[in-house]
Structure 1
Amino acid sequence: MTEQHMELESVRLATFGEWPLNAPVSAEDLVTNGFFATGNWLEAECHFCHVRIDHWEYGDQVAERHRRSSPICSMVLAPNHCGNIPRSQENDQEGNSVVDSPHQATTCACPDLLLEANRLETFKDWPNPNITPQALAKAGFYYLNRLDHVKCVFCNGVIAKWEKNDNAFDEHRRFFPQCPRVQMGPLIEFAAGKNLDELGIQPTSLPQRPKYACVEARMRTFADWPIPNIQPASDLAQAGLYYQKIGDQVRCFHCNIGLRSWQKEDEPWHEHAKWSPKCQFVLLAKGPAYVNEVLEATAANARSPPATAPAPSLQADALMDEAPAKEALALGIDGGVVRNAIQRKLSTSGCAFSTLDELLHAIFDEAGAEVALEVREPPQPSAPFMETCQATTSKAAAAVPVLVADSIPVKPQGVAEVSRLTEQLQKVSVASATPNGNLSLEEENRQLKDARLCKVCLDEEVGVVFLPCGHLATCNQCAPSVVNCPMCRADIKGFVRTFLS
């Protein structure tokens, strides 16, 4: 299998063989802007930044949508220096292909001026001592070898006549305020050989369905969710999905991917990352490492043959000797009921109950209320088993009130003891309210907690730094739908995930 050279416009154009002639945007415009067809209807992917765009509409400008979706793509910032090879340059005068091997393509391509080190190499004969080549290269400029003219690789702006004490970034901002390098700011450095993904910087892109950007709005769509026992609505909403009122189909508010046919063992975040690994909401909320783990696990499962699992009935017989089943039998629950619950668990999820608590929930929630009436009088429990009964949830305990009353001794408290406890609580509350108490310390703790809360939802902990302003203001859930920084109202050009320790 030969490698396709997607840097060639002719190779990218060949992928549009099934592109509709009446499509909202033409294949030629897409190819010129770095895109190739993925084969998924009207979806195209940029070879240089790998952003995928679909749902094209009539009147769309390919270059503008590319810039909005991936503002720091090398094709957007420097189309003449990103390695793209137009069709007019692919053949020489005799009709021979200029690029016919990966090595030759590398030697013929221009140096990547997006890298600061390569820009610095152009300043070998720099004539102006008023400003250093290092400062100019850091600000995005390379030398044109004409007087002291320099050009920005990001915005193509040209500046000359540098004077003493000029600041490269300040002058760049004065003449070209919309340049992406200027808006990123001088604190962001591009390490040689590394792209923004490797540096942890994620470009901004607006959600496809902004009205479902908050969790509460997505939760409201699940009012008539048909399979709450298979997939809880809260888990789906947290994963960025809202219900479309069609079967069990949900859709991501940000990347617009649709998911359906949910099984009980499916995990919403895992499925979202598996089918839409480029979704910025998933990348921001869970991190690129999580997405890579999901893709690696999916690839490993595709390579390995499915294992032959033992029949659930045989496994259920073996698990009847485990601790959760024995404890349920000791409670007086019928053995057939316990075995059926274990077998249902194996059939749906493939794993057994790890605790008595889970087993009791399955028995009383799924089998029906009539099963709770089939409890027999248990044998006298031992001391360790009494502790296990105390650890069960109130839901399970309510189903067998006689057993809990017999197993757990309750020590009644007299009126005098209750009044004594009440007096102690009143003393504590009075002491905390005195001027000499810890009121100032409590207020300080409250302020510290407020500082760590998201400034949008006021619920989750902050976890995203906005670029270029650098404010840590929102949580992972709210950041993708924010256009301006809540603190300073500056335009957001990128995100960086943070972890408070």
Structure 2
Amino acid sequence: MTELHLELESVRLATFGEWPTNAPVTAEELVSNGFFATGSWLEAECHFCHVRIDRWEYGDQVAERHRRSSPICSMVLAPNHCGNVPREQESDKEGNSVVDSPAQCACPDLLLEANRLETFKNWPNPNITPQALAKAGFYYLNRLDHVKCVWCNGVIAKWEKNDNAFDEHRRFFPNCPRVQMGPLIEFAAGKNLDELGIQPTSLPQRPKYACVDARMRTFSDWPIGNIQPAEALAQAGLYYQKIGDQVRCFHCNIGLRSWQKEDEPWHEHAKWSPKCQFVLLAKGPAYVNEVREATAATARSPPATAPAPSLQADTLMDEAPAKEALALGIDGGVVRNAVQRKLSSSGCAFATLDELLHAIFDEAGAEAALEVREPPEPSAPFMESCQATTSKAATTVPVLVADAIPEAPQAVIASVPATEASNVADQLQKMSMAPPNGNLSLEEENRQLKDARLCKVCLDEEVGVVFLPCGHLATCNQCAPSVANCPMCRADIKGFVRTFLS
């Protein structure tokens, strides 16, 4: 099979043979911006960054949608240096086609630092090193000491001693994407931002539904609550359109309908819109890849009969996470219910004890999770650690699996013999008071640590996204896609990185 040279505009144009003549955007405009037709209705793919865009609407500007979807694409940032070959340049002076030898006119990918560094072979200015200039996004123009940025096309010359390439870049071109990403981010050879775990920011299509509560309000007359609960759909970024059972994503604007009882909202969202930034932030690229692989595997083979969840749950109760939770004193029924919910929603088990405990507290609530029973007799070192924190109460009070001191110490004292109640009360009071040296009490310190891990937008979920270039860890996965400026420093957000607190 002959390989298509899609860097040539004429070759890309040939892929639009079945493109509708009344389409919202023309084939010529798509081709000039690096796209070729995938053959899937109104879907086009960029040859240089491989982003796919569909659902074109009348009035769309191809270049603008390309920039929003893939702001670091070499065709967007440096169309004259990305290897694109316009149709008027595809023939030599004698009219001979050069389709079979595109390497003669293709330029190196200057988004890669190594390729930029290669342009400095005859660098004449000893005041600054080629390595520093290439790292800051510049390549040499082979004219005096003029260098040009691949991202913003800014040109700087007359470099002086002790000049810092990034500082000068920021001073003259403060809005350059390379400057805003910062010097700590390097673009490894053959890797793009997606491979590095960095997601360029894009604004939601329906920002008024960015909040979970706003999406929940649209489900006031949801007709199939017995088939699909509204809360699960809202958590997955979907709001109700008041038409049958049709819902739509607030961020990528995809519509989903014909829900079945076995459908899982996150799975369906990732299956039909794998490029949705909300899904990628909330669930992660690994989850989206798993969904795509599962969908492809299902298409290749007939569905297998899965074991009943109850049978799987019985087996998983013998695994390490469940055993460790039982050893901590958590009720066996609570653990079993959490394992069954996990199997029903994702089809897999808990990998760690931490995941299981989070599920128990998030799903059942603190009161249900604390239905603990008397733990087995602990070893001597464990008893010593308990006595160091709870004194005499340690031998009679069940160990509470929680990350905070109980707010009502009286509930603990109730299970202590009356003769020892006053001593325990004195010790608990001392634990909650600040020491004479002025340090925070244990309870206050624990509260501040909890507050630091809360999302600064919804004040409910745990933080999980780092904003670039400022680097603040400020919001949860749900709130991050709807934020344009960092809540901490108000800096413009140019990208996201998912994080995992451990």
Structure 2 length-normalised TM = 0.73
> Could you tell me how far apart the structure 1 residues matched to 2:162 and 2:330 are?
86
**Helix, strand or coil at the partner of 1:495:** strand
Deviation at 1:192, TM superposition (A): 1.7
- Mapped to 2, the partners of 1:342 and 1:67 lie a distance apart of 44
Assess, with a 3 A threshold, how the Cα gap between structure 1 residues 330 and 138 changes in structure 2: closer, same or farther. Answer: closer
CA contact (8 A) 1:209 1:256 kept: yes
Q: Contact (CA 8 Å) 1:155, 1:180: kept in 2 or not?
A: yes
C-alpha distance in 2 between matches for 1:217 and 1:33 = 37
Larger deviation, residues 289-298 vs 418-427 = 418-427
CA deviation after TM superposition for structure 1 residue 194, in Å: 1.3
Counterparts in 2 of 1:308 and 1:214: CA distance versus 1, 3 Å: closer
Check 1:343–1:396 CA distance in 2 against 1; reply closer, same or farther (3 A cut).
farther
1:296, distance to aligned residue in structure 2 (A): 1.4
Please report how far the alpha carbon of residue 19 of structure 1 lies from its aligned counterpart in structure 2 after TM superposition.
3.6
Instruction: Find 2:369's aligned residue among 352, 368, 372.
Output: 372
| 1:250 shift after superposition | 1.3
Count of residues paired in the alignment: 495
Larger Rg: 1
Mark the CA change 1:390 to 1:273 in structure 2 (over 3 Å): closer, same or farther. farther
Against the structure 1 CA distance between its residues 151 and 398, is the aligned structure 2 distance closer, same or farther, given a 3 Å change threshold? closer
The separation in 1 between residues aligned to 2:393 and 2:338, in whole angstroms, is 15
Per mean C-alpha deviation after superposition, the further-off stretch among 438-447 and 305-314 is: 305-314
Aligned to 1:439: 440
Change (3 A) 1:381 1:398: closer
User: 2:461 aligned with 1:460, yes or no?
Assistant: yes
Q: CA deviation at 1:48?
A: 2.2
- Aligned mates of 1:330, 1:4 — CA distance in 2: 61
- Give the secondary-structure state (helix, strand or coil) at the position aligned to 2:290: helix
What do the CA deviations read for 1:254-307 (whole angstroms, capped 9, x no partner)?
Answer: 111111122222211111111111111111111111111111121122222445
For structure 1, list consecutive stretches of 5 or more residues without a partner in the other structure.
Answer: none
Q: Confirm or deny: 8 A CA contact 1:397 1:404 kept in the other structure.
A: no
Whether the aligned pair in 1 keeps the contact of 2:404 and 2:443 (CA below 8 Å) is: no
**Length-normalised TM-score, structure 1:** 0.73
Offset at 1:389?
A: 31
TM-aligned CA distance change 1:317 to 1:7, over 3 Å: closer
Contact 1:284/1:497 (<8 A) preserved: yes
Contact between 1:141 and 1:153, CA under 8 Å: does it hold in 2? yes
Q: How far 1:38 sits from its partner (Å)?
A: 4.0
User: Alpha-carbon deviation of 1:168?
Assistant: 0.9
Contact residue 357 and residue 393 of structure 1 kept, 8 A: no
Structure 2: state its 5+ residue gaps: 411-417
Aligned counterpart, 1:263: 260
How much does 1:16 deviate?
2.9
CA contact (8 A) 1:390 1:408 kept: no
Q: Quick check: 200-209 or 353-362, which moved more? A: 353-362
2:67, 2:315 → 1: CA distance? 60
Aligned-pair CA distance for 1:366: 22
How far apart, in 2, do the equivalents of 1:394 and 1:231 lie? 50
- Determine the structure 1 residue equivalent to 2:415: none
CA offsets per residue over residues 116-169 of structure 1, 9 Å max, x none?
A: 111111111111111111111011111111111111111111111111111111
How far residue 4 of structure 1 moved from its aligned partner, in angstroms, is: 3.5
Q: Structure 1 stretch 63-72 or stretch 340-349: which is displaced more?
A: 340-349
Q: Aligned partners of 2:366 and 2:473: how far apart in 1?
A: 50
Maintained 8 Å contact 2:334/2:369: no
C-alpha root-mean-square deviation of aligned residues, in Å? 8.9
**Whole-angstrom distance in 2 between the partners of 1:29 and 1:475:** 38
SS of residue matched to 1:368 = helix
State the alpha-carbon separation in 2 of the partners of residues 88 and 14 from structure 1.
15
> Is contact 1:372–1:399 with CA below 8 Å preserved after alignment?
no
Q: Which residue of 2 aligns with 1:165?
A: 162
1:162-217 deviations in Å (ceiling 9; x for gaps): 11111111111222222111111111111122111111111111111111111111
Q: 1:230 to 1:163 in 2, by over 3 A?
A: same
Contact 1:386 1:408 (C-alpha < 8 Å) held by counterparts: no
Q: Mark the CA change 1:397 to 1:260 in structure 2 (over 3 Å): closer, same or farther.
A: farther
1:37 CA displacement? 3.3
Q: Is residue 7–residue 83 contact of structure 1 (8 Å, CA) maintained in 2? A: yes
